A and B are shown apart, each in its own frame.
Chain A
Amino acid sequence: GNSVTQMEGPVTLSEEAFLTINCTYTATGYPSLFWYVQYPGEGLQLLLKATKADDKGSNKGFEATYRKETTSFHLEKGSVQVSDSAVYFCALRQAGTALIFGKGTTLSVSS
């Protein structure tokens, strides 16, 4: 079945460091791919998405590119801030089905 695998956390970075959170998926066909972020005590917020191969999603300095050949959707940010500390979830969705999430990666950024 479909699945999402993302790197285990926690990821601990200093402010202004470069961030990469790896995400790979297993799916038949061409799913849509998403990154969601969850701040402490809150629900999930969509961070970015890509709906077809080679699409790049971007938002708030975060980027991820839909790589069909490597079945990956890695999240990157050039310079993280303390306010980026949160849990990040990679997810996929195929037509007529629910979102399938990875286990989440906790990011902690210190000043």
Chain B
Amino acid sequence: KAGVTQTPRYLIKTRGQQVTLSCSPISGHRSVSWYQQTPGQGLQFLFEYFSETQRNKGNFPGRFSGRQFSNSRSEMNVSTLELGDSALYLCASSLEGLGNTIYFGEGSWLTVV
């Protein structure tokens, strides 16, 4: 069974641009969440989608947005990029339920120059 797939794996953007990252969850998983990982802040939760609805949201500015499609695939968008947005963006999927494991993709490495 295929794991969580994220594209692109690596990208470089310029300040002020916007970026869209894509995530395909494990087949059958309806919950998709996004995390940002930086050396200084560690792993921070961005948002979670379930059945096309945002269910939880972390403490990030409105420049960070996401959506989920009917096939559970998800995208996240960052507008007006800042240098501090340089990070590894991790997508994760899970089945519904507290004890169910959250599985992570390999991540998208974003560098803002």
Does A pair with B?
yes
- Which positions in A face B, CB cutoff 8 Å? 32, 34, 36, 42-46, 49, 51, 89, 93-104
B97, closest chain A residue (CB): A95
Interface residues, chain B, CB within 8 Å of chain A? Answer: 6, 33, 35, 42-43, 45, 48, 55-56, 58, 88, 90, 92, 98-99, 101-107
Distance in angstroms from B41 CB to nearest chain A CB is 9
B45 touches A51 (CB 8 A): no
The B interface is mostly helix, strand or loop, or mixed, namely strand
- Which chain B positions have C-beta within 8 A of A99? 33, 35, 43, 45, 92, 102
User: What are 30 sample pairs from A and B whose C-beta atoms fall under 8 A apart?
Assistant: A32-B98, A32-B99, A34-B101, A43-B6, A43-B104, A43-B105, A43-B106, A44-B90, A45-B104, A46-B101, A46-B102, A49-B99, A51-B98, A89-B43, A93-B98, A93-B102, A95-B98, A96-B55, A98-B45, A98-B48, A98-B56, A99-B33, A99-B35, A99-B43, A99-B92, A99-B102, A101-B42, A101-B43, A103-B42, A104-B42
